[in-house]
Amino acid sequence: MYAQFSGLFKVGETVYVNHPTESWIVGKVDAADKNNKKGAYSIKPVASLNDSLANENPINVNEDQLFKYTNDLDKLDHDDLLSMTELHEVTLLNCLRNRYKKDVIYTLIGGVLAIAMNPFKWTIPYVQDDKMDLYCNKGKNSNLLPHAWSIADNAYRIMKETKQNQSILISGESGAGKTEGCKTVIKYLSKLSCSITTDEKIRENASGIAIKIQECSPILEAFGNAKTQRNDNSSRFGKFIIMQFDKEGVILGAYMYNYLLEKSRVISQPLGERGYHIFYQLLAGADAKRRKELYLSKAEDYSCINQGKCFTVNGVDDGKEYAEVIKAMNIVGISQTEQDAIFRITAAVLHMQNLKFNLRGDGSEVENKQTLKNVAELLRVDQVGLEKALTTMYVSAGKDLILKGLVPAKACDARDAFSKALYDAVFNWIIKKINENLDSSKQHKVDNFIGLLDIYGFEAFEKNSFEQLCINFANEALQGVYNNYTFKKDVDECREEGIEVTSVTFNDNQECIELIQKGVVNSLTDCCKSSSTDIDFLEKLKKAYLKKTGFFDASPLKKEDFIVRHYAGDVSYNVTGWIEKNKDTLNGDLFKLTKTSTCNFIKDLLEDTGNAKDTVGESFRKQLNNLLTTINSTRPHYIRCLKPHPAKKPNMFSVTEVMNQLRSSGVLETVKIRREGYSVRMPFDQFYHKFKILLPPAQQKGSTKEEMRVSCEEIIKSVKFDKVKAQIGKSTVFLRHYAYSDLESLRNEKLVQYVITIQASFRKLKAIKEVATMRRLKKEEEERIYFEKHREEIERKRREEEEKLRIERERIEKEEAEKRRIEEIKRQEEEKIAREKREREAVILKEQAKLNKLREVQMKKMEELKRIEAEKEERERVKKELEELESGKANMEEQESVKIWKVDEGKLVGFTLSEARKDLIFRIKTDQLFTLEECKILIKEIVRIMKRDAERDFKNLIFLSKFRTEVLFPKPIVSDYISETHGLDGFADSIDVKKMIYGKVTIRPLDPLSSKDTILIAKEKLKLLVLNINKNIVKLIDNALRQRKERLLIIATILEELETSVIKKYLHPNELLVVMAKIKSQSTSNSNAASQQQQPQQQFASASEEKLF
The Cα–Cα gap between 519 and 541 comes to: 7
- Is 212 annotated among the ligand-binding residues? no
Fill in the DSSP letter of residue 442.
T
Check residue 516 and report its DSSP letter: I
Strand order in the sheet with 732-735: 680-683, 732-735, 726-728
- 569 appears as a binding residue in the annotation: no
Torsion-angle region of 910 (φ positive above 0: left; ψ -120 to 50: alpha; else: beta): left
Positive or negative, the Cα torsion across 283, 286, 290, 292? positive
d(CA 194, CA 202): 8
Please tell me whether 333 is known to bind a ligand: no
Question: Distance between CA atoms of 1028 and 184, rounded to whole angstroms?
Answer: 96
Half-sphere exposure of 395 toward its Cβ, with a 13 Å CA cutoff? 5
361 is in an annotated binding site: no
Q: Does residue 448 contact residue 163 with C-beta atoms inside 8 Å?
A: yes
Q: Report yes or no: 63 and 8 within 8 Å, Cβ to Cβ.
A: yes
Long-range Cβ pairs for the range 109-112 (8 Å, 24+): 109/80, 109/81, 109/82, 109/667, 109/670, 110/80, 110/82, 110/486, 110/489, 111/154, 112/151, 112/154, 112/485, 112/486, 112/489, 112/636, 112/637, 112/638
Question: Any idea of the CA torsion for 390, 392, 398, 399, to the nearest 10 degrees?
Answer: -70
> Is 588 flagged in the annotation as binding?
no
363 annotated as ligand-binding: no
The whole-angstrom separation of Cα 1027 and Cα 917 is 14
SS3 249: coil
Does 224 appear as a known binding residue?
Answer: no
- The answer to whether 176 is annotated as binding is yes
- Taking CB atoms within 8 Å and a gap of at least 24, the contacts of 329-334 are 329/219, 331/211, 331/212, 331/215, 332/212, 332/215, 332/216, 332/219, 332/433, 332/434, 332/437, 332/438, 333/212, 333/433, 333/436, 333/437, 334/430, 334/433
Q: At what angle do helices 737-789 and 684-691 cross, to 10 degrees?
A: 50
Phi, psi of 1087 (to 5 degrees): -65, -45
Under 8 Å between Cβ of 601 and 346: no
Q: Dihedrals φ, ψ of 670, to 5°?
A: -60, -45
Helix (H) or strand (E) holding 419: helix 408-438
Nearest CA-CA partner of 179 in 442, 457, 577: 457
Residues within the annotated binding site?
Answer: 172-179
Residues within the annotated binding site for ATP?
Answer: 172-179
